[in-house]
Chain A
Amino acid sequence: MEMNNLVVLPIFVPLLTAVILMFFSKNVSLQRWVSVGASLLTVIVAVLLVRTVSIDGIQTLDIGSWPAPFGITLVSDMLSALLVLTTSVIGFAVILYSIYSIGIERERHFYYPIVQFLLVGVNGAFTTGDIFNLFVFFEVMLMASYVLLVLGGTKIQLRETIKYLTVNVISSSLFVIAIAYLYSIVGTLNMAHISQRIAEIENMPGILTVIAILFLIVFGLKGAIFPLYFWMPGSYYAPPIPVMALLGALLTKVGIYSIARTYSLFFYHDQSYTHELLLVLAVVTVLIGVVGSIAYWDVKKIIIYNIITAIGVILYGISIATTTSMTGSVYYLLHDMIIKAALFLLIGIIIKITGTSNLKKFHGLINDYPVLTWVYFIAAISLAGIPPFSGFVGKWLVIQGGMGSGEFLGSVIILITSLLVLYSVMKIFIHGFWGEKDQQFADKESVSYKKLLVPAIILVAISVLYGFGSEFVYPYVSQAVETLMNPEIYIEAVLKE
């Protein structure tokens, strides 16, 4: 019997931690150290998982010993293993950051258990091989995000949580409806088996295209693509910085992963309509994102709109669906998760020092905070994709893939918008950090920003290493893309035929 319980550990460790943390919610220092220790352990098991997948190929685990397709199967191919690792690293950095920033009142009210539950949901969504189980992990993740969003109970959090909750309840019910339609046609929930059944139906009939679009609407609402992104700028603006970093770096990416998974595993037979639509939406998403990011003078809003831009770029690569563009998308996805978390943590420090997120109200931070300035600078040029840094390879391959498939307009738009992305983050650099020394923030050394800087520097350093070590990362990404491009590898690993 083939089985590997390593696959379940990135879900099990945070789950057990969350439950244990619930027993002593008022002992804040113990909460902190258990959380940090457990998230470090999650990183370690995720590293082991990536290593195992790279050596032995796709790892599957039939939950409860029931063979696929009858039981729930957890599947770790290289894509999900890499995403689980990235999630765990971000979780670790954000928890470290939370210790010094989230505030004792939130910590006493189940903050750390909820963060662990969020990681359970995200890691589970990346690992599951069952479409209904994907829905359940989505809900685990979303419920945790509702609580994190509203925890603290300020007015803006309450208002934005109502919006966020409403949108997600609607999209979740659409998800159930979409699964019900799909189940009524293929009669199975196991993703590999669904793929196999769909392939057996000659000439993908119209109803499957309808379901593909329904899934796109569902995951588009989760992942904030045009025109379903409307809830996001407001909702992500409301919570405290560490929560914002978690939501911004992880949640939308689960939607993107789900689109990549379903569109490469299920709906790849008749691409003329679905992938063309995806392409158009991706390009418009990029445009909406950059328009937002250059329009605002609020540092939080600028980064939030940059999430939307990145989602567009990743989706563009997925919609082209060639090996080159997919490789680009995977590269860019991993890069973007890390750099967005890092940027949120950095602007959190800026806001802590200046007391405002309005870019027009402060300048000259470089005089008193040189380390912060240069870390931010590196993060900013990584985001924009200046060559040796991490954003470059992904975007380059996406554009190359687009050009290779004759999609010149879209590729040129993505190329040009990169400049605007650079402008939007450099705007923060030029207006906030440059200029004359601002006396009102000069004596803020007492603000303990140095401890906050540590997790941000960890993430930026990982991002820099990721950029410089693209060659080293390449075999892993290429293994991930191989499965995406050849669904039969996935099916064979799960159904073991």
Chain B
Amino acid sequence: MRSGDLILQTMSKVVFFIIILFSIHLFFEGHYRPGGGFVGGLMTSGAIILLLLAYDMETVKKILPFDFKWLIAVGLFISVLTAGGSLLFDVPFFTHVHDYFNLPLLGKTSLHTAALFDLGVFFVVVGVTLTIIQTIGESE
């Protein structure tokens, strides 16, 4: 761990959560207002990169103990299956469905399979960004 960056490290701890919350907000807003999987994913990567700047790769790996390339595969898998799921229901590829549900706490909520697709996009963007930064950062 780098020493002497006390102010940066303390600030990062606070700001990290604000950025993450904002990125999740952006992600869920995508259907109605500007936002969506792509910016949401970029913003999340931004938060993690802030941790990388304040601390180092080892610390980040301790917090997120998985290979970021794996995250790309997971994201693609979610998106491809969302699109391919329509094949099971004998409707054209990529057909989305949505409906309103009464959820506990949240009340009447509209759920759309497009959000699942967006979740895949979110993971791919986070995975790709962090893989690029990690690979460049670790190469000698």
Contact = CB atoms under 8 A, between A and B. Distances in A.
Partners in one complex: yes
Interface of A: 3, 5, 8, 12, 15-16, 19-20, 22-23, 25, 61-65, 74
B93 A5 contact: yes
A313 B3 CA distance: 68
Nearest to B93: A8
Contacts of B94: 63-64
B92 A22 contact: no
A15 B92 CA distance: 17
A16 B84 contact: yes
Contacts of A15: 80
B73 A65 contact: no
A23 B92 contact: no
Interface in B67-107: 69-70, 72-73, 76-77, 80, 83-84, 87, 90-96
Contacts of B91: 3, 65
23 contacts: A3-B91, A5-B93, A8-B87, A12-B84, A12-B87, A16-B80, A16-B84, A19-B73, A19-B77, A20-B77, A22-B69, A22-B72, A22-B73, A22-B76, A23-B73, A23-B77, A25-B69, A63-B93, A63-B94, A64-B92, A64-B95, A64-B96, A65-B91
A20 to B, nearest CB: 8
Given A16-B80, A16-B84, A23 B70 contact: yes
A65 B84 contact: no
A92 B72 CA distance: 26
Contact of A19 (B76, B87, B90, B93): B76
A63 B93 CA distance: 6
A12 B93 CA distance: 9
Given A5-B87, A23-B70, A65 B95 contact: yes
Contacts of A23: 70, 73, 77
Nearest to B91: A65
Binding site secondary structure of chain A: helix
Contacts of B93: 5, 8, 12, 61, 63-64, 74
A25 B90 CA distance: 32
Contacts of A16: 80, 84
B48 to A, nearest CB: 21
Given A19-B80, A62-B92, A65-B95, 18 more contacts: A5-B92, A5-B93, A12-B83, A12-B87, A12-B93, A19-B73, A19-B77, A22-B72, A22-B76, A23-B70, A23-B73, A61-B92, A61-B93, A63-B92, A64-B95, A64-B96, A65-B92, A74-B93
A139 to B, nearest CB: 15
Contacts of A61: 92-93
A44 to B, nearest CB: 16
Interface string B52-74: 00000000000000000110110
A16 B81 CA distance: 8
B94 to A, nearest CB: 4
A118 to B, nearest CB: 16
Contacts of B95: 64-65
A65 B95 CA distance: 6
B79 to A, nearest CB: 9
Nearest to B90: A5
Contacts of A65: 91-92, 95
B76 A3 contact: no
B132 to A, nearest CB: 14
B98 to A, nearest CB: 12
